[in-house]
Amino acid sequence: MAGINQIASGGALPDGIPEKIARAAYHVFWGAARVSSIAVLLIAWEWLARSGTFTPFQLPAFSRVLDRIWSDALSGDLALNTGLTLYRAMAGFLIAMVGGIVLGMAMSRLRLARWFFDPIISIGFPMPKIAFLPVVMLWLGVYDTSKITMIVFDVIFPVVAATVIAIQGVERELLWSARNMGANEREILWQIVLPAALPQIMTGLQVALPLSMIVAVVTEMLMGGYGLGGAMMTASRFANSTGVFAGIVEIAVIGYALVKAMALIRRRLLIWHQEANAPA
């Protein structure tokens, strides 16, 4: 991609401008264009809301929404709700991560586990698990247990599927050479199979993480109580649309931070892998 840009910009260069400066200017220009598009969006929001095209109920001004977030932050509601939502999403995500990787490993090692779980995973993965939410509510009530259970139930499938595919894809030669050099099964698992499978497992986890936030928010909306989803639902019942939009902004920021954090962790963990050197 970078190469093509250079060709494109290089071709259009007027004579006499050093290539380095031209390239720097090119990056600054497009970088500024990126930042400004977010700014334009926010300004457009504010302007549309103030212009009276929409009622404040349909579209509260961005400044009012910020104001609301600020007052939530001061009263401690923001920290409480964010903390609870993050706690549920993270608890569900971590349980599903550990459980999913273990189950995936078991399925690739033990024939019996594979025979039993393979059809369940292949049918369960594409199912909309959220439909089971009333059933989970019936069994476990409306508190943290049922919310976290729902998240685990939803999020474990991509993790298991990624782990199974990842382990299948480990190169035979690696296993053979390790065995040849006298590694026992445990060493092979920890030193060969898991590191070699890590990139794909990470991909599965990167699917699972945003999903855990989606499910956390839905369960909170449906079961009520504290948490960002619950707060949005309360605001919506009282026709408090500023509160609803504040919820969206908060959830968007958290979702964005989580996804970025996950990408960072991936880079760190896979620093040895060739993908880390690839141009982003």
Look at the block and give the residue holding tokens 């026992």: 184
Residue 256 CB, shortest distance to another protein, in Å, is 5
Q: Which of 98, 248, 264, 271 binds another protein (CB under 8 A)?
A: 248
Q: Which of 58, 75, 145, 191 binds another protein (CB under 8 A)?
A: 58
Q: Which of 93, 151, 213, 266 binds another protein (CB under 8 A)?
A: 213
Of 61-69, 70-78, 110-118, 269-277, the window that binds another protein (rule: CB under 8 A) is: 110-118
Cα separation of 42 and 32, whole Å? 16
Residue 222 CB, shortest distance to another protein, in Å, is 6
Look at the block and give the residue holding tokens 């260069």: 13
Residue placing its CB nearer to another protein in the complex, 192 or 208? 208
Binding track, positions 2-31, relative to another protein; x by CB under 8 A:
--x-------------------------x-
Beta strands in the chain (DSSP E): none
Residue placing its CB nearer to another protein in the complex, 102 or 135? 135
Cα separation of 155 and 147, whole Å? 12
Of 14-22, 67-75, 254-262, 272-280, the window that binds another protein (rule: CB under 8 A) is: 254-262
Cα separation of 171 and 53, whole Å? 61
Q: What six digits make up the tokens of 218?
A: 């839905």
Q: Which of 217, 227, 230, 266 binds another protein (CB under 8 A)?
A: 217
On the CB side of 233, CA atoms within 13 Å amount to: 15
Cα separation of 88 and 145, whole Å? 9
Q: What six digits make up the tokens of 229?
A: 């989803």
Binding track, positions 121-160, relative to another protein; x by CB under 8 A:
--x--xxxxxxxxxx-xxx---------------------
The Cβ of residue 13 has, within 10 Å, a number of other Cβ atoms equal to: 13
Number of H helices, E strands in the chain: 12, 0
223 touches another protein by CB under 8 A: no
For 120, residues 6+ apart whose C-beta sits below 8 A from its C-beta are none
Cα separation of 84 and 216, whole Å? 10
Site residues for another protein per CB under 8 A: 1, 4, 30, 33-35, 37-38, 41, 57-58, 115-120, 123, 126-135, 137-139, 210, 213-218, 221-222, 228-229, 232-233, 235-236, 241, 244-245, 247-248, 251-252, 255-256, 258-259
